[in-house]
Amino acid sequence: MTTQPETMPCRLCGHDVPAGRFCGRCGARLAQERGGGPDWLRVNAFVAAPGESVLQPSLVSSLFPYLPRRSRATFRVGLLLVAALLVLFCVLHWYVPMVAVATFAPLLLFVIYLTDTGVIADLPWRVWALVVAFGIATGVGWTLLTASIVAESYSLGLGTEVPTATLVRDALVIPFGGLLAMQLPTVLVRLTRPPIQESLYGFAIGVLGATVFTVTATMVRLVQEIDAGITLSDQSVTDLLIEAGVRGLTMPLTAATVSGLVGIALWYHRRAGASRIRHLAAVVLILVVAAAAYANVGLVEVLQIATDLQFLVHVALALAAVIALRVGMQVAVLHEPQDPLQPELPILCQGCGHVVPDMAFCPACGVAAHAASRTSRDARRRDRPQPGTELVER
Ligand SMILES: [Zn+2]
Ligand SMILES: [Zn+2]
């Protein structure tokens, strides 16, 4: 026998919900807070990590939203380890190991994340095989298609007068074309109507597709450069560090955020009664911001500003894209249809570790149920805590 939890009316959706800090049905704060921003955004409590603001460019909770709170520290260490390796290889002038780590580490970390959180088991193998196959095919296709253009701009060399048409093409057409080509795996997989209509599953597929695309494109380009006999001049450690930062941090980050947003937009569907125009506007705005960020990256490269300044611009744009991604995730997860509510049954929250009523949002910490994989939700529903456990824990 469970005792009925105390209830109170939600000031946003009007339903009677278990008393707590957050509404279990719509995720709104039950008591209005100063500086909380509009309720449809819930700006100071990110759906995947309510301790963080939506506008805080935290990498781990943005790129790995299904991680339970206790696992985030491990992934933070993983990211730092990759960064330390990159710096070490640059200082030692080990160019090939640096490129290898910068290229493969993001893909490896993401696959570990998918396996660790059980996302990989939630979708049939057919879906993942399609994502990888489409990612490789579009990566090879795009690189071969643009190979002649890239080779031509190499032969111009630095310091020569670049014609305006070439400038526009290199600054806009190639980055935008690459950005569009990178979305093909996600769009194609969506057309096969995969199971599970949740925006964060779209995010996982989008990021995986884009990461496979980027890895393939980098490898094909490297092979072409070796074939063409482009030898590496003695780069200074600073130049190597910047290259490592672009290859290993800002490039994969921009690719993952833009494709993750496209995945979210393709998998999201509206909860009955939610305003359509506002969400459509949010999606369009976010895509425009992300695409502009990507185009800027291209523009910065062509304008040939001093490389260290250029790198800072890259980093700033990548972080802006991460914030756009978080806004997209927040809006989608707050407003998409949720699992059936079972407020009379207890569940262990993976955000705060409390035993709480099984609802769309944790009444104690506000984390979304959808910010955990199906595997994790099913396991916690099969093995519900016994009534009274919470009292013992206290
Ligand atoms: Zn509510
Ligand atoms: Zn919680």
Q: Which ligand is nearest to the CA of 69?
A: 2
Question: Is residue 383 helix, strand or coil?
Answer: coil
Q: Which ligand is nearest to the CA of 18?
A: 1
CA of 39 to the centre of ligand 2 (A): 19
CA of 349 to the centre of ligand 2 (A): 5
Task: Give the model's pLDDT for residue 20.
Answer: 92
CA of 85 to the centre of ligand 1 (A): 47
CA of 12 to the centre of ligand 1 (A): 5
DSSP state for residue 29 in the 8-state scheme: B
Task: Give the model's pLDDT for residue 146.
Answer: 85
CA of 327 to the centre of ligand 1 (A): 20
**Rounded distance between C-alpha atoms, residue 241 and residue 250, angstroms:** 12
Residues 6 or more apart in contact with residue 180 via CB below 8 angstroms: none
- Asked if 130 and 184 touch (Cβ cutoff 8 Å), the reply is no
Neighbours of 153 (CB within 10 A): 15
For the cut 90, the answer to whether the pLDDT of residue 367 exceeds it is yes
**Rounded distance between C-alpha atoms, residue 71 and residue 52, angstroms:** 16
CA of 21 to the centre of ligand 2 (A): 10
DSSP state for residue 371 in the 8-state scheme: G
**How large is the C-alpha radius of gyration of the chain?**
23
Neighbours of ion ligand 1 (CB under 5 A): 10, 12-13, 23, 25-26, 28
CA of 322 to the centre of ligand 2 (A): 24
Task: Give the model's pLDDT for residue 1.
Answer: 44
**Rounded distance between C-alpha atoms, residue 64 and residue 259, angstroms:** 14
**Three-class SS of 150-202:** HHHHHHHCCCCCCCHHHHHHHHHHHHHHHHHHHHHHHHHHHHCCCCCCCHHHH
DSSP state for residue 3 in the 8-state scheme: P
For range 200-227, the mean pLDDT: 91
CA of 34 to the centre of ligand 1 (A): 18
Instruction: Retrieve residue 94's tokens.
Output: 């080990």
The closest of 343, 385, 328 to 65, measured between CA atoms, is 328
CA of 386 to the centre of ligand 1 (A): 27
Q: Which amino acid, one-letter code, is at 342?
A: Q
Task: Give the model's pLDDT for residue 286.
Answer: 77
CA of 5 to the centre of ligand 1 (A): 16
For the cut 60, the answer to whether the pLDDT of residue 156 exceeds it is no
Instruction: Report the predicted TM-score, pTM, of the whole model to 2 decimal places.
Output: 0.89
CA of 362 to the centre of ligand 2 (A): 5
Per DSSP, the residues of 328-345 read HHHHHHHHS--PPPEEEE
CA of 48 to the centre of ligand 1 (A): 18
pLDDT tens per residue across span 281-323: 777 777 777 777 777 777 666 666 667 787 888 888 889 889 9
Mean pLDDT rounded to a whole number for the chain: 86
CA of 262 to the centre of ligand 2 (A): 28
Q: Which ligand is nearest to the CA of 366?
A: 2
Confidence of residue 60 (pLDDT cuts 50, 70, 90): very high
Q: Which ligand is nearest to the CA of 363?
A: 2
Instruction: Retrieve residue 301's tokens.
Output: 């490269």
Phi then psi for residue 355, to 5 deg, are: -90, 120
307-335 vs 237-245: helix crossing angle, rounded to 10: 20
pLDDT tens per residue across span 83-120: 999 999 999 988 889 999 999 999 999 999 999 999 99
CA of 92 to the centre of ligand 1 (A): 56
Q: Which ligand is nearest to the CA of 23?
A: 1
CA of 355 to the centre of ligand 1 (A): 20
**Rounded distance between C-alpha atoms, residue 329 and residue 101, angstroms:** 29
Q: Which ligand is nearest to the CA of 22?
A: 1
End-to-end CA distance of the chain: 20
Question: Is residue 5 helix, strand or coil?
Answer: coil
